Structure 1
Amino acid sequence: MPSTRQITEFSDEPAAGNPWVVEPMPATIELVEYDPVWPTQARQIGDRLSELLGLRAIRIDHVGSTAVEGLPAKPVIDIDVTVADPADEAGYVSRLQEAGFVLTVREPWWHEHRLFRGGRRSDDRVAPTDGGPATNIHVFGPDSPEPIKHLVFRNWLRSSASDRKLYADTKRAAAAAQRDDDAVMDYNARKQTVILDIYERAFRASGFLS
């Protein structure tokens, strides 16, 4: 279990290497209004992951903006999967890849994070073949603070109409400001100040900060 300090702090440490297993392609940020089908799609993906990974999957959680009713979002389902040891790739990578989820990012220096992409979208250099909705599967270990952060942020936005509106307005403004050479990280950077403000309120509401 990560400490409260690990959960509530954010680090800007640079990457310790090239995280890309599959290099990204330039893509326009597509922001769409909330689609009520997203929770159903997330449950279906979660069920599939549970079937593929069995007891290897300690937790499977729908996170990100598609998990918050009323939020506009990129039409990509974000799923956090917690496994005992993400570095033990023999225990799960082939199962996911054989099912059409492509290992795209490997970041052993950042909580042993692995990212798999599923579904089909315009910015795939190697198009996944699982045929489902566009999906990001984030794999972390039980000591990582990231899945807890994601759940705290999601739950707060579900409960706070004012911060939900603030975040929705911020996302629309960030998408509208994109340039032809932008990457997803540029879009995310334009939201960062507001995200950190919302996180502080979320941490206080959930008891991580007094």
Structure 2
Amino acid sequence: MNERTELIGGREKREIRIVDYDPTWPARFAEERDRIANALGAVARRVDHIGSTSVPGLAAKPIIDIQVSVPDVDDEDAYLELLSAAGYQLRVREPAHRMMRTPERDVHVHLCTIGSAWERPQLLFRDWLRHDDADRAAYEQLKRELAQRDWSDMNAYADAKGPLITEIGARAQAWADATGWTP
């Protein structure tokens, strides 16, 4: 997080629980994708399943992460009220990114501008972990180790994954360059 990140409701201490991959996660994503698409219509240019629950075989926190690409994430009038009416609550406001979630906190909706620097890395990281067994295993091992610690909030846990994510991201970028991968 940076100094320009606004956490609606402040910091939260939550248990970090990693569970084995659940084959129902893609269906759960599909339900939420339809809910989002119905709420936003053409404003939602892309709705993608991201995060660990989008990678078959990868253990994860049982939270479905969804990336919604909109024309301009800073134009909150175009989507915020519509998603709120569909049952999502604003949690994070930061440059180039907003995050909304369900009241149950089991779905996180990440909003970004289509074609932005925020959009592409999420999709590349997902696709690389779907492709590379060694990095998928290393990422899972780190998540399981970190989940054993007591964290002041989920953001501290996410920050602790940063160095490995950067390392994996570099390999993913080399793969994308070599193969012509596009989101």
Q: Structure 1-normalised TM-score?
A: 0.80
Q: Is the 8 A contact 2:70 2:112 kept in 1?
A: yes
Q: 1:154, 1:89 → 2: CA distance?
A: 26
Q: What stretches of structure 2 of length at least 5 have no aligned partner?
A: none
Q: Does 1:136 align with 2:136?
A: no
Could you tell me how far 1:208 is from its partner in structure 2? 7.7
Q: 1:191, 1:88 → 2: CA distance?
A: 30
Residue in structure 1 matched with residue 87 of structure 2 by the alignment:
100
Q: Does 1:205 align with 2:175?
A: yes
The percent of aligned pairs where both chains have the same amino acid is: 36
How many residues align? The count is 179
Alignment counterpart, residue 58 of structure 1, candidates 45, 51, 60: 45
Could you tell me how far 1:25 is from its partner in structure 2? 2.4
Structure with higher Rg: it is: 1
Q: What do residues 164-199 of structure 1 show as CA deviations (whole Å, max 9, x unaligned)?
A: 1111111111111x22x5211221232222111111
- The runs of 4+ residues in structure 1 deviating greater than 3 Å are none
Q: What do residues 51-95 of structure 1 show as CA deviations (whole Å, max 9, x unaligned)?
A: 110000011100000000111111100001011112222221111
Could you tell me how far 1:143 is from its partner in structure 2? 4.2
Q: 1:208, 1:48 → 2: CA distance?
A: 36
- Secondary structure of 1:50's partner? helix
Q: Is the 8 A contact 1:105 1:114 kept in 2?
A: yes
Q: What do residues 82-119 of structure 1 show as CA deviations (whole Å, max 9, x unaligned)?
A: 11112222221111111110011111xx21x1110115
Residue in structure 1 matched with residue 121 of structure 2 by the alignment:
149
How has the CA–CA distance of structure 1 residues 48 and 208 changed in structure 2, closer, same or farther, with 3 Å as cutoff? farther
Cα-Cα RMSD: 1.8
- Secondary structure of 1:30's partner? coil
Q: Does 1:34 align with 2:21?
A: yes
Q: Is the 8 A contact 1:115 1:138 kept in 2?
A: yes
What amino acid sits opposite 2:81 in the alignment? S
Q: 2:134, 2:12 → 1: CA distance?
A: 35
Q: What stretches of structure 1 of length at least 5 have no aligned partner?
A: 1-11, 122-133
